[in-house]
């Protein structure tokens, strides 16, 4: 519960939403599905900018024949969408289906997953492997590759406080894909996960989440993960994460390439 909440703002335009978020920086935050925000109980939050009136939900054609996924698309809609299923072995749809229980997936959004702290690793890892780009409003449109978004997320959101959509490039839509994860139970969030995309030209992109603080690209499944800047927590040590990462990376690449490991 947000005990100090005084205002629920519901702008009808992107420009207005960005203005409200900028003017209230520090005490005003974006409200999407609310699954993380409401539980956060941050006493500094005095106003929320409800994003539900901005038309940001849905999956459809994007620029240059890519696939555009609106920031307010729920994880359930993402998991069920035919176009997302058809892209690169459905690795993003599979990531969304595993990201949270059904009750949470019905409300939690793609934007909240990328901007929040508790969205887990699987969706950003899949988007990284797919070569996705994140579109933000500053209020003018700013588009950044997923890798840059993950690296500079706090700075980007301070400057362009609203995620509008994620675009999957056309070449990833007709690629093959694979993914693998390890978690404490099938319903729990991933401890470590890997996603691979094999493009028609033969190039394979591989991303690994759950080893470093944010998912990152790996050159190959035998990458020296022990040299990564691994983080451990109550769910798994750094050693465990570095040990399991190449196994998952190899599985993801095997699935994407139909058996040929690079
Ligand atoms: C009971 C429970 C179980 C959960 N289980 C899991 C789990 O198993 N695995 C897992 O990965 N996650 C889990 N979560 C976390 C949850 O699924 C994610 O945090 C969720 O994806 C957040 O999305 P949301 O739309 O609800 O975001 P919100 O709670 O509305 O917002 C989260 C943050 O993102 C910001 N934000 C939202 N949308 C935008 C936007 N478009 N632009 C800029 N900023 C934005 C908000 O200001 C806020 O800071 C669980 C949560 C709960 C409550």
Provide the pLDDT for residue 260. 61
Computed over its alpha carbons, how large is the radius of gyration of the chain?
A: 18
Instruction: Report the separation in Å between the CA atom of 40 and the middle of ligand 1, taken as the mean of its atom positions.
Output: 10
DSSP helix/strand/coil, 38: helix
Atom of ligand 1 nearest to the CA of 72: 41
Q: Which residues form the pocket of ligand 1, taking CB atoms under 6 Å from any ligand atom?
A: 29-37, 39, 51, 71, 99-100, 104, 107-109, 111-113, 115-116, 118-120, 162-163, 189
Tokens describing residue 161: 């406080």
Pocket test for ligand 1, best of 46, 100, 214 (most atoms within 8 A of CB): 100
Q: What pLDDT was estimated at residue 230? A: 95
Per-residue pLDDT, 261: 57
Closest ligand 1 atom to the C-alpha of 74? 25
- What is the C-alpha to C-alpha distance for residues 257 and 48, in angstroms, rounded to an integer? 45
Atom of ligand 1 nearest to the CA of 122: 11
Distance CA(136)–CA(198), nearest Å, equals 28
**Protein residue with its CA nearest to atom 16 in ligand 1:** 119
- Note down pLDDT in tens along the chain; length 262 residues: 788 999 999 999 999 999 999 999 989 999 999 999 998 889 999 999 999 999 999 999 999 999 999 999 999 999 999 999 999 999 999 999 999 899 999 999 999 999 998 878 999 999 999 999 999 999 999 999 999 999 999 999 999 999 999 999 999 999 999 999 999 988 888 999 999 999 988 999 999 999 999 999 999 989 999 999 999 999 999 999 999 999 999 999 999 999 865 5
Q: What is residue 33's predicted lDDT score, i.e. its pLDDT?
A: 97
Ligand 1 centre from 32 Cα, in Å? 8
The span from the CA of 63 to the CA of 173, in Å, is 13
Distance of CA 135 from the midpoint of ligand 1 (Å) = 18
Omega before 139 cis (within 30°)?
A: yes
SS3 content of the chain, % helix, strand, coil (to 5): 40, 25, 35
Mutate to test the pocket of ligand 1, among 104, 117, 134, 155 (most ligand atoms within 8 A of CB): 104
Rounded distance between C-alpha atoms, residue 187 and residue 44, angstroms: 32
Structural contact between residues 19 and 59, judged by C-beta atoms closer than 8 angstroms: no
Dist. CA 113 → ligand 1 center (Å) = 5
Nearest C-alpha to atom 7 of ligand 1 is from which residue? Answer: 100
CA–CA separation, 126 vs 154, rounded Å? 20
What is the CA(30)–ligand 1 centre distance, in A?
11
């Amino acid at each position: 519960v947000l005990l100090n909440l005084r205002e629920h703002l519901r702008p009808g335009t992107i420009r207005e939403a960005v203005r409200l978020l900028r003017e209230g920086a520090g005490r005003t935050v974006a409200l999407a599905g609310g699954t993380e925000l409401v539980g956060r109980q941050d006493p500094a939050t005095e106003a929320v900018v409800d994003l539900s009136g901005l038309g940001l939900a849905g999956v459809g054609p994007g620029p240059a024949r890519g696939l555009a996924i609106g920031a307010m698309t729920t994880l359930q809609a993402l998991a069920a969408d035919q176009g997302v299923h058809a892209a690169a072995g459905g690795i993003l749809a599979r990531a969304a289906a595993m990201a949270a229980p059904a009750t949470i997936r019905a409300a939690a959004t793609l934007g909240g997953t990328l901007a929040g702290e508790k969205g887990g690793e699987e969706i950003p890892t899949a988007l990284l492997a797919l070569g996705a780009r994140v579109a933000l409003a500053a209020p003018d449109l700013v588009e950044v590759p997923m890798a840059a978004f993950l690296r500079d997320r706090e700075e980007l959101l301070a400057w362009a406080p609203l995620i509008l959509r994620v675009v999957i490039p056309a070449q990833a839509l007709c690629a093959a894909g694979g993914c693998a994860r390890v978690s404490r139970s099938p319903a729990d969030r991933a401890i470590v996960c890997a996603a691979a995309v094999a493009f028609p030209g033969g190039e394979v992109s591989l991303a690994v989440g759950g080893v470093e603080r944010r998912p990152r690209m790996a050159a190959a499944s035998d990458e020296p993960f022990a040299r990564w800047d691994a983080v451990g927590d109550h769910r798994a040590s750094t050693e465990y994460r570095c040990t399991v990462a190449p196994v998952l990376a190899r599985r993801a690449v095997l699935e994407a390439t139909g058996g040929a490991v690079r």
